[in-house]
């Protein structure tokens, strides 16, 4: 494994466990937007949302292409939720990230506002160089190769082989690997994957150290 100098880390269902329950909250807001703003009949929404997501990378991009929605309006509507009851400060995650000398960036298909909110609630916002959000890579998004190319430029143009991309979705990881980026999947369930897998982002220091990367000493986990 080539030593990793830069970390591109996904946000939702990666920085926190899926069991936290953020996705159902956001999904409900997406459904409300599709019904109330776009005017899609309620009984058609689940199938349409899944198709838009699979065909376009995000529901937002699909709605923009097929229905002409305002993406900023969509992002503000979907992410205007209080997540403080489901996301709590994660001291183990903070210690794990602090122990890593690599430059760390969040790379998300969500908005910067949502990312900053989540990172703030987790208590780890100050450990990242910044957030690369879905507007930064517009009109592309993960898993499009163009989105990864933009993300690398925004992260200081590291070499792909010296970059590790961490995500919970196989399709996103496949796209990164095709560009020569190292990959790591976060899954809180036992799965079959073409990529190395950890169960929690707190295990990232152990993964890196076991693959020839030097770590700096941080607070005990």
Tokens of 193: 């994957």
Instruction: List pLDDT tens digits, range 51-68.
Output: 999 999 999 999 999 999
Calpha distance 133→112 (Å, rounded): 5
CATH number of the domain bearing residue 33? 1.10.150
Helices 22-33 and 71-79, packing angle to 10 deg: 130
Number of structural domains, the chain? Answer: 2
In this structure, is residue 72 part of a structural domain?
yes
107 and 147 part of one domain: yes
pLDDT digits (tens, 9 = 90+) for 112-152: 999 999 999 999 999 999 999 999 999 999 999 999 999 99
For the chain, the average pLDDT equals 95
Which tens digits make up the pLDDT trace of 184-210? 999 988 889 999 999 999 999 999 999
Q: CATH code at 202?
A: 3.40.50.1000
Q: What is the pLDDT of residue 217?
A: 41
In a shared domain, residues 74 and 174: no
List own/partner pairs for 131-139 with CB under 8 A and 24 or more apart.
Answer: 131/105, 131/106, 132/8, 132/105, 132/106, 132/107, 132/108, 133/108, 133/109, 134/58, 134/60, 134/61, 134/71, 134/75, 134/108, 134/109, 134/110, 135/71, 135/72, 135/75, 135/111, 136/112, 138/71, 139/61
């Amino acid at each position: 494994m080539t030593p990793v100098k830069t970390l591109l880390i996904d946000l939702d269902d990666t920085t926190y466990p899926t069991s936290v329950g953020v996705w159902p909250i956001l999904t409900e807001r997406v459904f409300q937007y599709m019904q109330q703003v776009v005017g899609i009949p309620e009984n058609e929404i689940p199938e349409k949302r899944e198709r838009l997501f699979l065909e376009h990378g995000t529901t937002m991009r699909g709605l923009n292409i097929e229905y002409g929605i305002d993406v900023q309006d969509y992002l503000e509507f979907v992410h205007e939720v209080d997540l403080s009851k489901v996301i709590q400060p994660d001291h183990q995650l903070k210690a794990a990230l602090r122990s890593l000398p690599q430059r760390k960036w969040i790379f998300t298909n969500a908005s910067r506002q949502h990312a900053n909110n989540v990172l703030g609630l987790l208590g780890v916002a100050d450990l990242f160089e910044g957030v690369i959000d879905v507007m930064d890579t517009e009109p592309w998004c993960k898993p499009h190769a163009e989105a990864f190319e933009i993300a690398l430029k925004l992260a200081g143009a590291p070499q792909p082989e010296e970059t590790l991309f961490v995500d919970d979705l196989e399709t996103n990881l496949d796209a990164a690997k095709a560009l020569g980026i190292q990959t790591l999947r976060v899954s809180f369930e036992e799965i079959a994957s073409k990529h190395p897998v950890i169960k929690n982002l707190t295990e990232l220091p152990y993964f890196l150290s076991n693959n020839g990367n030097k770590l700096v000493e941080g607070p005990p986990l």
